[in-house]
Amino acid sequence: MDRWKKKILRIIESVFKKGQFVNEKEVKVFEKNELKNLSNKFRELKSLIYDYRDKKEEEIKELNNNHLNFKNEIEASRKRYEQLIDEAADEISNFVEKAKLENVSQ
């Protein structure tokens, strides 16, 4: 019986070693394919990151332009408002002077 046990163990070991060798080859091929896949995914991710960055930079430029336009509009509106106030003050002042002249002449 000991001889049969030894033979069985040798057969199992040889099958295991052959299986292990095949698995090592398969693992190497699998690892190589995985590295290629990871490399492709990395390139895709890198491309997406650069696209996202470019898109956000364009949005920032657009927002800066809009901000500058709004700032200019506000400044123009402030100047028009000051001009209207000055004109209204001048008209009121002229009206008061005319009223005083009419009161004096009566």
- Residue 70: the pLDDT is 97
Q: What is the pLDDT of residue 90?
A: 94
Read off the pLDDT of residues 12-60 as tens digits, 9 standing for 90 and up.
Answer: 666 555 555 455 665 566 667 777 877 888 888 889 999 999 999 999 9
Cα-based distances in Å from 29 to 16, 21, 75, 82: 20, 12, 69, 79
Residue-averaged pLDDT of the chain? 82
Give the helix ranges, DSSP H, for 1-106: 2-105
How many residues does this entry show for the chain? 106
- State yes or no: pLDDT of 2 exceeds 90: no
| Residue 102 predicted with pLDDT over 90 | no
Between the alpha carbon of residue 48 and those of residues 14, 38, 39, 41, 54, the distances in Å are 50, 15, 14, 10, 10
pLDDT digits (tens, 9 = 90+) for 48-92: 999 999 999 999 999 999 999 999 999 999 999 999 999 999 999
